[in-house]
Amino acid sequence: MRLVLASASSGRLRVLRHAGADPLVIVSGVDEDAIIAALGADAQPDQVVGALAAAKAADVVDRLPADVAADCVIIGCDSMLWLDGRLSGKPGTPAAARAQWQVMAGRTGELYTGHAVVRVRDGVAVRRELESAVTRVRFGEPTADDLSDYIDSGEPLGVAGAFTLDGLGGWFVDGIDGDPSNVIGLSLPLVRRMLARADIAVPRLWSPSPPAP
């Protein structure tokens, strides 16, 4: 059985590799903005990240090579930061990243990650699991120079909430309440429980020769 990660996130890939897996990465082609818009303004944070995770995993089912589709499990994820009644994804630009940090510095936000697990056999999705997790993140207050240097590094532009826990952004996180792997982008405890419901034991996903993280 092959493990497939439906995400381009290097953080999620590192989480799985640190945990002994060697997933095949297949990036989905879903229109995230369209999915969010279809949910409507009243959608709750867990519903939004869950819908995005489910769409990514479902899209990758149709992208699987034939040999992989014979027997695999797909994990799709999406993360967003909830603060002041607003969900924030990847800022995309330096100006947006700076604005995000001006709002969250010295405060506490909630990092939501949706997880979709799809079991595929003989090219058919035979089991689907969907669940979201949330971790509270306490942000520090970087100096103006530190924030400028962090933004100039480019890292915050392509990550949910404009920060990382396992990268340069970790210097500016004072603490968390909950699962750290969820903040990185993939909650190992949650995925373990979801796999169990799909009758998949975690050791089946361990690689005999795990790659370097």
Residue 213: its pLDDT value, please?
62
Answer yes or no: is 148 within a domain.
yes
Which ranges in the chain belong to alpha helices (H)?
10-18, 32-39, 45-61, 66-69, 94-104, 144-153, 180-184, 188-197
Domain that holds residue 98: 2-205
Residue with tokens 């995770």, as numbered in its chain: 53
Catalytic residues: 78
Task: Sort strands 86-88 and 71-83 into parallel, antiparallel or unpaired.
Answer: antiparallel
Q: How many residues can be counted in the chain?
A: 213
Answer yes or no: is 149 within a domain.
yes
Answer yes or no: is 212 within a domain.
no
Residue 122: its pLDDT value, please?
96
Residue 54: its pLDDT value, please?
98
Domain count, the chain: 1
- Find the CATH number of the domain harbouring 127: 3.90.950.10
Answer yes or no: is 213 within a domain.
no
**DSSP class of residue 154?**
S
**Separation CA 75–CA 54 (nearest Å):** 9
Answer yes or no: is 211 within a domain.
no
pTM of the model: 0.94
**Separation CA 187–CA 16 (nearest Å):** 10
Partner residues linked to 81 by β-bridges: 88, 111
Q: What φ, ψ does residue 116 adopt, rounded to 5°?
A: -120, 130
Residue 88: its pLDDT value, please?
95
**Separation CA 10–CA 186 (nearest Å):** 11
Cβ atoms 9, 61 nearer than 8 A: no
Task: Sort strands 86-88 and 108-121 into parallel, antiparallel or unpaired.
Answer: unpaired
The rounded average pLDDT for each run of 10 residues, N- to C-terminus, in the chain (213 residues) is: 95 96 95 94 95 97 96 98 95 97 98 98 97 98 98 97 97 98 98 96 87 63
Residue 207: its pLDDT value, please?
86
